[in-house]
Amino acid sequence: MTQRINRFSFVFVLLFCAIIFLFLTSCDLTLTDPDLTDAPSNLKIKKTDEGRIEITWTYQIPDHADSDTLYFVIGKKVGTSNWNDNYQNISTQFFTYLDNIPTNDSLVYAYKIKFYNKSTDESSPYSEVIAFMSAYCDPSDLMVEQKTQAQIEVSWQDHCVGEEGYYIDKKVGVGNWKSKYRTLNANATSFTDDVNLFEEVFYRVTAFVGTTTSSSTENSIVPTLLSPSNLALQKLDQNKIKLTWQDNSEGEVGFHIDKKIGGNDWVTNYATVDSNIITFIDDITEPCGTFYYRLNAYSGTYTSANSNEEHINILLDEIGFVNTPGVAQDIITSGWYAFVPDNYEGLQIINFGNPESPEIIYTMDDFEDRVISADIKDDFLYVTSHCGIAGPGVISMVDISDPNNPVLTSNSFTSGIPYDIQVVGDFAYVADGDNGLTVFFISGSAPHFVTNVSTGGHAQSIYIDGTNAYITQGLDGIAIFDITDPFNPTLSSTYATSGAKDIFVQNNYAFIADSEDGLLILDVFNPSSPAYTARLETDGFATGVYANNTYAYISDSEVGLITIDISSIIDPFILGYYSMTTEPSSLTHFCSYALLIDNEGMKIVQVGP
């Protein structure tokens, strides 16, 4: 029995050996040669100079090979082109290769290497792919945006030409990075991922080719409740604003509403409503203003991003206008009549008894070339004008007891360009350009010249409080004169400003339209020593100013009409804006209206109930 088993085993072994022999002799021996199964390894690539790179590798040369017929074959691929599998053949005496390529563009330069025995026509497999990728290949502008409460989108800019794909790494909270969390194909620029609310998640993106990677770009997000959207405001009446919005979140406790008035800071959490509520009505106590709103969803200490921001004006809207044929220079009112010096087009008399439809009722052109300024006392209008040539200015006296039929009664000459006039008591005071301050006695049948004094600058506008004349002089600031004796005005003080354009005095405070520096407020209780009180930027170019109790109004040629709360004189704040593109240059105030002049004519803006 034992002999049978041994004979059977012997036959089985012979048969197995024969099968192995037949298999080996029928195969390509190059695949089984132990010297050729390994590819070159440890490839490294680096930039040696501008426009040149170096590749190095290692390889074990077979002992029995003939060195005269051994080569390394280098394959190369540029960008998205096909591989050139026989780009270079180099001697096996070298394990390094230098190549001249651009080293400052977004193309990928990829390489692979194999060993080749020419005498036997045998070769190893290709090595791993290695590539040169300049900084221009790096992905950039990584954005992580929440699309739903459970999903985000990661996106970036693809600058690489010829990358194999992109690796996405991910980290949650303070945990470890999960390398190659996603692998994306070439030219990918985004992907979506599932996330958990209120758990910060980090992503970094890297382009790769073979074993080579670009620099990575990184960003993170804390997924939170989705923000409300489509916030809209509706003016229900002069005291109520209705807010409506779209609720996009799930599981919120409620909504926080933020509010801002004019130029003030945001009042966060101004109001709160419960979850799933999509309306709110706000009560307005200010006489007018610009009101801004935004809101967010919240749950505990977590909040969504803010909704869109919207604003609306209450009682700060244009209700009427009239175009004048010239370019309006000044405005003064008497009752429901406005008198507008209209430069080369004379004097316009406007009836605005119906503020929504003001109309020019008379155009008076009995003056010199340019009609510049005007002021009123009783039934007389005092108008300044100037000839376009280098002549003296003129002050004219006009009877306006019947505004529909004004009558020029007399005139007198000034010594300069009479930019502005104000009449107080028996005297008219003129900001007379380079000639300073000119005073006229007006109680007679015609204005009578009294005196002229230099102001030290270019007098542009004037305000009289009874005992003092406040004169703006542009870049020369302001000058204050004591006019207790109108026949002998004396300089009390000057104050440097950025570019004083207009001035209004109320309750011992001077309000100055200071061009690009907005509103300047000075304490002039002691006219000989004006003191800085406050400044308020308008973000434009302030040209005119008018104060009325606790409110001030600024005409700004770059912004429009600006309303300011001056109830706290040391801390004024902007209530609102009426935006204009017509470069308002001056204004006045009557009842609930601000009347502005601009390069079109006169605008009427409601500023109170």
Q: Which pLDDT tens digit goes with each residue over 87-135? A: 999 998 889 999 999 999 999 999 999 999 988 899 999 999 999 999 9
pLDDT of 21 > 70? The answer is: no
In CATH terms, the superfamily for domain 317-606 is YVTN repeat-like/Quinoprotein amine dehydrogenase (2.130.10.10)
Amino acid, res. 52 = R
Please identify, in words, the CATH class of the domain defined by 41-132. Answer: mainly beta
Which residue from 120, 105, 203, 208 is spatially nearest to 163, judged by alpha carbons? Answer: 208
The angle at the Cα of 566, spanning 565 to 569, to the nearest 5 degrees, equals 150
pLDDT of 553 > 80? The answer is: yes
338: β partners: 333, 350
Q: Judge residue 419's burial from the number of C-beta atoms within 10 Å of its C-beta, 0-12 exposed, 13-18 middle, 19 or more buried.
A: buried
Phi, psi of 560 (to 5 degrees): 130, -135
How far from chain centre, in Å, is Cα 18?
Answer: 85
Dist. CA 22–CA 33, nearest whole Å: 17
Residues 454, 435 contacting (CB under 8 angstroms): yes
In CATH terms, the superfamily for domain 230-310 is Immunoglobulins (2.60.40.10)
CATH 2.60.40.10 correct for 135-221: yes
Which residue from 497, 521, 492 is spatially nearest to 507, judged by alpha carbons? Answer: 521
- Residues, the chain, total? 609
Residues 130, 39 contacting (CB under 8 angstroms): no
Residues 512, 530 contacting (CB under 8 angstroms): no
pLDDT of 2 > 70? The answer is: no
* Token pair listed for 388: 């376009």
pLDDT tens per residue across span 461-472: 999 999 999 999
pLDDT of 75 > 80? The answer is: yes
pLDDT tens per residue across span 153-202: 999 999 999 999 999 999 999 999 999 999 999 999 999 999 999 999 99
pLDDT of amino acid 378: 94
Lowest model confidence (mean pLDDT) among 60-69, 232-241, 247-256, 261-270: 60-69
The angle at the Cα of 321, spanning 316 to 323, to the nearest 5 degrees, equals 145
pLDDT of amino acid 392: 86
pLDDT of 15 > 70? The answer is: no
User: Model confidence at 387, in pLDDT bands (50, 70, 90)?
Assistant: confident
pLDDT of amino acid 67: 72
User: Model confidence at 14, in pLDDT bands (50, 70, 90)?
Assistant: very low
Dist. CA 466–CA 454, nearest whole Å: 20
Q: pTM for the full model? A: 0.75
